[in-house]
Structure 1
């Protein structure tokens, strides 16, 4: 199985910033201050703590990103380096924070293992003992100590943090945010359960008990841009305020939820509008067990049509916002744009909300999707690699490029009841036939490349910031969707 590609590859700055920390001429244990006041310079243990010029100085937390620990602020900014001296010094002396070590100083203390992982030497670290922008989005315990080359290289470059041999109980910090650990009951389920965040990657029901306890999920979704840190959180109604209706459905009390307002792994394979609000016991039980979530309709709308009020339409960051068409690929209908891109998911809110309320578009559901074709390199392997589905028949790792590209496997497993369509939030990617010459006169070819639909152009005829790092002649005219989109966005051009 392939891996989820990352479209973001920036290095962590925190480890490198420790280069600013050490002042070798100061004797250990000696504290000095140039003068009183916010601009004084404080040193201790050979560390230049700086002064108190930060906006957040003297608030009882250390805001200097060169340090980590229980006494560190949740959100850390580079501008506060050496500008929160009093707080950081007091917390350092009490043992509540410590300097972030330089990777080169501790690399020999880490047993990176070997390269026996299926995913070794692919440029991403698959070892769950590490965290940061260099790790794969899906980490498996079986890869612990099995991806040595990737993890060592990324660790030394500052793109990883070593969590230790029990990573679930270690805190993960990125971009100045303390994501906490993975001690939540719902950790590693691909949803963020931490109520400090908000966005389309969040779990439907959030509890204060999970604050700082779902680090891996929240970190991955934060890196993907699917969630952001929020002061207010993103809590939704719990089971007590949802009108589950009654048990008058023919399929009531069969252990599956048949109410089409919900989605998730506890849902029946076939959903009918006549069962809306008619399978209360099953749906309430599965909802409380977090096996389904409310995907459409307001909480009290048992038996009513889906309402725009429950849908997170996102924002208007799409290049095509406010043009009278909905460019969000979660929707379909006469009001949808002709060409839909993953990058516009949740990014055309005004258009989509207006058209949804006018009845000109609908959220895709299990009854209006196309299984697509078999263009995935993992086709016909007995597992479904299309990330629009979930269930026991799914591959362990799925990636965006396989949307609608594993039709034979997925349709067979769907008919066998071993996978189900992720209703309500499913993503429909247009199934394009071989694109011919566009208005630009360029023949972009097809999507038969192994690296098609990964957000980078792999066709060696082009150049620009949107290009993949490694290009091979075999991919000429074989990455049409990526190259066309990047060409139209002005991020690549013909040589």
Structure 2
């Protein structure tokens, strides 16, 4: 039997050779891919560097129990180490040779010279690991925090040049933002100054957990401190309201002068500004009149312009119509035209002097002591009518006027009753309107009354809403004034003085 089998086997072999049949060859093992042939990716997975390979392209004892596709190419350090140790292999050989995609505009890898590595101010600088969270790779530290952004220059530059780290997200270089370029706003948020940045334009470990749009630009102190410390960064630099607000360059702002009553008191009183450095009460009368305080506050970041269009532009001298010198106060060394403001402008200006003090105002503008505010119409003055029995007699009998063209005896009963005479004489320059009756005077209120002794309220007419003290004059004064009421209507007269409806004309202050 054994002989038969041998013969049979030999016969079969001979037949196969004779007929050209071939003997099936044994399958040869596929060559194991080398680590250099595998694209391990980076370490951007949440589970990177935990000692297990989380990339689902691999299999073996070195793999994590749970694998998800989002970790493909995102656990380079662990997977390479496990592969080199023989603990894992690639599930599919095609993983080593992904389909070739030709990019007609391939990205250019950044050079070290293109990257702002920052400085070495991190606590972990120069420890041989890159602690800047903008980088990833085997040369990066295991724990990365935003506080070390741009603060481990030596380590990160060395690792980048050695090829052990790359920039996160495909090599895009995050733009550097200067703290001086950011409008942090003010501290008006309910959560301001609590040690966390509540402005939703920022992100990082220094940000609060809950952020709402209502706090945009309202937690300046916290957010600025966090930004400087590197614990927050701007989310992006787009154009929606939550993005960076670039502050108006300081040299583009006309701060004006220090002619405000409240100038140089440590608070910005100019109503164009807002912030923690602004005064609580702001009035239009202080527009461009608190330059020193507002400039200092703006430089310190405690105020910002409410509207960047409020940065007043200086009108070229050649474009200003200064008018002529027909004002009674022309060429007295002060600009009396109310269209101007500044230290070179008279403390009291009248609408009747618009375009009538050309020499003084032009000189002040050229010297930088006056600023043109723009054209304005002369404020309307109500001359009244001609009901006075002395109307049209060639003299002004209205006690609101003064000058050589007025009657020597002016009575309350003739107030606003001699319009034709008073208007004609005003146009001729023979009378002028008493300061307290001009529309501009009341508009300049409130006035400081701290130097005046108003007395007491012993008058029988005290607290009746009119000033009965004969030392005062103006539309806020009573029609009949008695010497017995001198210094005896304190509350009424003080209120009227501060409101600009009376002025002190006689007696002790």
Fold-level match, TM-score > 0.5? no
Q: Which has the higher contact order (CA 8 A, sep 6+)?
A: 1
- TM-score band, normalised by shorter chain: under 0.3
Work out which of the two has the higher radius of gyration on C-alpha atoms and give 1 or 2. Answer: 2
When the two structures are superposed, what TM-score results if normalisation uses the length of structure 1?
0.27
TM-score normalized by the length of structure 2: 0.27
